[in-house]
Structure 1
Amino acid sequence: MTKALVSIGSNIDRDLHIQAAVKALRALDPHCRFSRIFEAEPVGFEGPNFYNLIAELDTALDLQTFWQTIRDIESRYGRQRDDVKYRDRTLDIDLLTFGDQCQSSGPALPRNDIYKFAFTLWPLAELCPDQAIPGDGRTFAQLWQQFDQAQPLWPIETPAYLKE
């Protein structure tokens, strides 16, 4: 089994799409764990605020199959692959880490979002604080302590579907 960390985000029908992603990821690993949900302002464009969270799951799938599986979940909920990078999203699921793998493309691992966005790093630091970032050696908690925490971000009340 390989431990995968994925980020989940939505700013269109946020509750509906986040709940759908949680359900789909639980179908892949019934024992997966989720961070709290954080609300964040969009980065790089104007639009409604996002809900963001992190999922940690174990998978027997190989990297390419797992990556395609999460991309298929996005597509089921209206994600278009030709989308502009910074825009509203029904559902955005990004693979952040896949075991200890490091690679520069197809997908890039670990994903650079870990180093760029508070809405990715803060929930990682809470969910798996002592996990080392592949190829880096620092833990998510250590990186969060060093991070510029000026990006607007706040936790929301945990919905019932995350407490199951």
Structure 2
Amino acid sequence: MATIYLSLGSNVDREASINACLTSLHKAFGSIELSSLFDSSSVGFEGTDFYNMVVKVETTMALEALVVFLREMEYAHGREPDAKKFSPRTIDIDLLLYDDVICDSPAQLPRDEITFNAFVLWPLSELAAEQKHPVNGKTYGDMWAAFDKSSQQLTKIPLTWTVPKEVKHL
């Protein structure tokens, strides 16, 4: 069983897109743990604000199969297959960590955004504060404590997803 962390983001019909994705993840994986939900400005392009969060999941899927599965889930939730990297999207699902695997293919692990995007690091630190980054050896809690919080503004907002009772939510 592998422990994985997924970063979710949406800036198109944000609330409905995040809620629909959470429902799909719950159906696919069963019990999931959720960070807080954050409102953040677009990074890398001019666009409407995003909703972002991190989800912790346990899976028996092999890494290669998981990457394909997550991409198909994005498409099922309205993401365009030819969407540019920095563009509006209904849902973006990024695999941040797959246990302590370090690789560049079929996905970059650990995902480099962990170290420089507040909208990834803050919610990840909520779920895995004591866990160590497999490359730099620092805990996510320590990384968030040292992060320049003036560089990216985030606002915690209420999550409206109807949480099944077996889902743990911070």
TM-score w.r.t. the length of structure 2 is: 0.91
Q: Pairwise mapping of residues 15-164 of structure 1 onto structure 2 (< 5 A)?
A: 15-150=15-150, 151-162=152-163, 164=165
SS at match of 2:80: coil
Preserved CA contact (<8 Å) 1:5 1:57: yes
Matched residues in 1 for 2:161 and 2:25: separation?
16
SS at match of 1:154: strand
SS at match of 2:162: helix
Match of 1:8 in 2: 8
Structure 1 unmatched ranges of 5 or more? none
Question: For each residue in 1:32-73, what CA deviation from the matched residue of structure 2 results, as whole angstroms up to 9, or x when unmatched?
Answer: 101010000001212111000000000001001111111111
Count, aligned residues: 164
SS at match of 1:161: coil
Matched residues in 2 for 1:32 and 1:160: separation?
13
What amino acid maps onto 2:52 in structure 1?
Answer: N
What amino acid maps onto 1:46 in structure 2?
Answer: E
Matched residues in 2 for 1:123 and 1:130: separation?
13
RMSD in angstroms over aligned alpha carbons? 1.3
Using the aligned pairs only, state the percent identity.
36
Preserved CA contact (<8 Å) 1:34 1:162: no
What amino acid maps onto 2:66 in structure 1?
Answer: F
Preserved CA contact (<8 Å) 1:77 1:90: yes
Question: For each residue in 1:96-142, what CA deviation from the matched residue of structure 2 results, as whole angstroms up to 9, or x when unmatched?
Answer: 00011001232010001101200000001112111111222111101
Matched residues in 1 for 2:44 and 2:61: separation?
34
Preserved CA contact (<8 Å) 2:36 2:123: yes
Which structure 1 residue ranges, 4+ long, deviate > 4 Å from structure 2? none
**Mean Cα displacement is larger for which, 142-151 or 1-10?**
142-151
Matched residues in 2 for 1:81 and 1:22: separation?
20
Matched residues in 2 for 1:47 and 1:132: separation?
33
Structure 2 unmatched ranges of 5 or more? 166-170
SS at match of 1:5: strand
